[in-house]
Amino acid sequence: MFNTFNHYYTFLLAFLLTLIGCQSDDPYNSQQAFGENTAVPISDNSDYPQLEEAWGFIDRSGDLVIRGNFDETRGFSEGFALVRKGDKWGFIDKNGKVVIAPKFKSAWSFENGKARVMEFSDKMGIIDTKGNYLLPAEYTKIKTYSEGLIPVKKDSLYSYLDETGKTVIPPSFRRAWNFHDGLAKVALDGKVTIIDKKGKPVFEATFQRLGDFSEGLAKAKWNGKFGYLNKRGKAIIKNNFDNAEDFNQGIAVVGKGEAYGLIDRQGKFLVKPQYQTIFYAEKNRWVVVDDGKFGLIDQTGNMVAEPVYQQIYNFVEDRAIYQRDDLWGYLDLTGKEITPPQYGLAWSFQSGLARVGFRQGIGFIDTTGNPVLLPDFSDVRDFQEGLATVKL
């Protein structure tokens, strides 16, 4: 069991940093896409050496509630967790019962009652929570659902299916992207074309680069410069920029030369180009880099956190990881440090708790920065649906 305590411990030892740094569960990475989360690696027998270790699950009190003899696990999603035995993946429920026997070469977590799986034939399909195929394993690629449609590849061509598996747009495309704002990019006859949800071409992308639509606009590059298009392919914001990013909350990051600023939907500068880098950090906060140091501004350009940090990451659950003096801590939306820089490792908050590197190993803090669970296992992952994966 983890121990509850009131005083935090100091820095993670260098050997622990080295150990954790070799793992795939990267710390201070707050940009995981849920649509692709917990995809397990493609397997062959050589990928999985026989190790004398097993994985189970703890609850938020630190009690071990599932003592599994699994070789590897992933977090829970919709009441099911991926588990590996040998080189095969399956699913368990929250009682630790195997509900879909390990038999897949690769698999993804359940979303809306569906999970993508890959057979050892390298063909992909979609199963339900009982393990029955909703979409047979006969596809070379299945992407994620977006706006009710999913691109799938068979016999070298992509088509789009609806939630029932019915073909809505027949196989026609060498490449296909997800829908955004009702439109998707496809490669048709060697050219990138924008289609609607009926598969009808809206406009041909005669551009050097074209992004996805976000808030009704898409960044595009023509004649060597970036501007923004509307859904009919008409230039709404002139191509005046050397770099450009998607709109978020009606604001986009653009670059002129080596400097970056913020514009509104009319192309008017809200923050003139002056920073080395800017990126959207959620909740109307933008991370800026000035003279190699990271800070935070709001949508008007007002400084929320002075640029004194080695790194700042996206806000997740209203907390952002920062690095200062080679150690990690957390900021709130006002730019206040809710913890001093004291951790050797840090991960984003999940369900009100964040993993951090203490001197003894990996434990958890709450959103006020108070430590709540001390290390008691050799490895532990984030809480998902009330349970966290631990190495026994």
Domains of the chain: total? 1
Does 85 reside within a domain? yes
Q: Which residues pair with 66 in a beta bridge?
A: 57
Does 2 reside within a domain? no
DSSP-derived 3-state class of residue 55? strand
Does 8 reside within a domain? no
Does 89 reside within a domain? yes
Does 263 reside within a domain? yes
The two structure tokens encoding residue 242: 């050397």
Distances (CA, A) of 64 to 99, 212, 361, 380: 20, 44, 17, 12
Does 180 reside within a domain? yes
What is the average pLDDT across 62-74?
A: 92
Residue type, 128: D
Task: State the residue range of the domain holding 224.
Answer: 14-391
Distances (CA, A) of 256 to 11, 248, 288, 298: 41, 19, 15, 20
Alpha-carbon distance of 222 to 211, in angstroms, equals 12
- Quick: pLDDT tens for 28-40: 333 332 223 444 5
Nearest to 33 by CA among 128, 109, 114: 109
Does 4 reside within a domain? no
Minimum mean pLDDT among 62-71, 115-124, 151-160: which range? 62-71
In degrees and rounded to multiples of 5, residue 28 shows phi and psi of: 35, 45
Does 262 reside within a domain? yes
Nearest to 291 by CA among 274, 279, 303, 304: 274
Alpha-carbon distance of 124 to 114, in angstroms, equals 13
- 19 pLDDT band (50/70/90 cuts)? very low
- Quick: pLDDT tens for 45-58: 334 445 557 899 99
Per-residue pLDDT, 52: 59
The two structure tokens encoding residue 339: 């913890």
The two structure tokens encoding residue 197: 């949800």
The two structure tokens encoding residue 155: 């016999």
Distances (CA, A) of 105 to 108, 154, 276, 313: 11, 19, 44, 34
Nearest to 186 by CA among 155, 218, 210: 210
The total of other beta-carbon atoms located within 10 Å of residue 236's CB is 16
CATH code, domain with 54: 2.140.10
- Quick: pLDDT tens for 372-382: 999 988 899 99
Average pLDDT of the residues of the chain: 88
Share of the chain above pLDDT 90, in %: 80
